Amino acid sequence: MTQPEEQCVLAVDVGGTTIKGAVFGEDGRIRHSLVVPSQADDDPVKAVRSLCRRLRDDALALGVAPAAIGVVTPGLVDEVEGVVRYAANLRFRNVPLRALIGDDLELPVAVGHDARAAGVAEAVGGAARGLDNFLLLPLGTGIAAAVVVHGVPVSGATAAAGEVGHIPVYPGGEPCTCGQRGCLEVYASAGGLARRYARAGGTSGLDSRAIADAVATDPVARTVWDDATRALGTALATLTLTIDPARIVLGGGLAEAGALFFDPVRDALRAALAWRTPPPVLRSAFGAQAAQVGAAVLARREAGLPVPDAWGAPEQVPPAD
């Protein structure tokens, strides 16, 4: 093992399907990454701790010294205490991640919410750079939001701020796994879109990207796509009137469809705001890596290291489709 010559930070994004880890160099570039299944072990907490130890060892083998680690998860996350209060898909309940990983690695540990961490990344080096008030919605298996007000990601009274996937956009509509009906997540998440498409008679097993490709020729795909973009536009109007963001940033697989997705979402948002101009709606600069970059930023802050403007930014920020 070589003697470390420079500092790095470790970043871990814990998802319902995979755990993604990365070593970020001082310049904000990824030096090394790895991915493991999050459900491969009967104890998902054990899987996270194992990946964190492996990531530290890999960093040392590269000749870089970890200064801190950032770990982000979905669910109800108490960032002050470093505890994941509840994350259904991970089977986490009152997991003291900061204490556990800190004991394992003997490093400073920042624990955060994945969507809020993604918002931090976009603010530092992405589509919300330089803004103090904005919304970020990663549209994945579910939908959560980073609500950034006066430069601070809002966590709320119970660490549940940003659970916008459960805004009822169609009252009395289709049932959601949360127990409500008509939730945004039922219609506009990648998982919800695929389930509605299959139930409506579409080809089983198609993901959101394949459904987007079929919109021009498949009436079922067109119907569920229109429902999704209209539902999202309605929800964004509610959020705009509540938060008054300077910008809305959308990420996830649906956002990768470009104008096919953004044009109808912007139209629906504009139609729902009769008396005011809607905020610009842009595509995430980091895409699926946003939460991981945000975890790295949190780690640098935890270690007391500077986070320069545009640290970790991609080579080219995607245009606003």
pLDDT tens, residue by residue, 184-226: 999 999 889 999 999 999 988 899 999 999 999 999 999 999 9
pLDDT average, residue stretch 14-36: 92
pLDDT average, residue stretch 47-52: 95
CB 162 within 8 A of CB 184: no
pLDDT tops 90 at residue 270: yes
**What is the rounded distance in angstroms from the CA atom of residue 90 to the CA atom of residue 131?**
32
CB 189 within 8 A of CB 165: yes
The per-residue pLDDT for 1 is 47
pLDDT tops 50 at residue 318: no
The per-residue pLDDT for 4 is 53
Extract the tokens encoding 172: 């009395």
**What is the rounded distance in angstroms from the CA atom of residue 71 to the CA atom of residue 230?**
34
Q: How confident is the model at residue 5 (pLDDT cuts 50, 70, 90)?
A: low
The per-residue pLDDT for 319 is 39
The model's pTM is 0.88
**What is the rounded distance in angstroms from the CA atom of residue 250 to the CA atom of residue 281?**
7
Q: What percent of the chain clears pLDDT 70, i.e. is strictly above it?
A: 96
pLDDT average, residue stretch 156-162: 88
Q: What is the Cα 137 distance to its own chain's centre?
A: 7
pLDDT tops 50 at residue 317: no
Q: Is the dihedral of CA 217, 271, 141, 48 positive or negative?
A: positive
What is the per-residue DSSP string for 104-164? HH-S-EEEEEHHHHHHHHHHHHSTTTT-SSEEEEEESSSB--EEEETTEE---TTS-TT-G
Q: How confident is the model at residue 41 (pLDDT cuts 50, 70, 90)?
A: low
The per-residue pLDDT for 310 is 87
* Residue 263: partners with Cβ closer than 8 Å, 6 or more residues away: none
pLDDT average, residue stretch 25-45: 87
The per-residue pLDDT for 204 is 84
Model confidence over 94-148: pLDDT tens digits?
999 999 999 999 999 999 999 999 999 999 999 999 899 999 999 887 898 999 9
Extract the tokens encoding 65: 């010294």
The per-residue pLDDT for 312 is 87
pLDDT average, residue stretch 163-178: 91
The per-residue pLDDT for 315 is 62
pLDDT average, residue stretch 25-29: 93
pLDDT average, residue stretch 34-41: 80
Extract the tokens encoding 321: 């489709």
Average pLDDT of the chain to the nearest whole number: 91
The crossing angle, in degrees rounded to 10, of helices 290-303 and 114-125 is 80
pLDDT average, residue stretch 293-314: 93
pLDDT average, residue stretch 148-158: 90
The per-residue pLDDT for 42 is 76
Beta-strand ranges (E) seen in the chain are 6-14, 18-24, 30-37, 64-73, 76-78, 83-87, 92-95, 109-113, 134-139, 146-149, 152-153, 247-252, 281-283
The per-residue pLDDT for 15 is 86
Residue type, 312: G
The per-residue pLDDT for 321 is 42
Q: Where is pLDDT greater, at 156 or 72?
A: 72
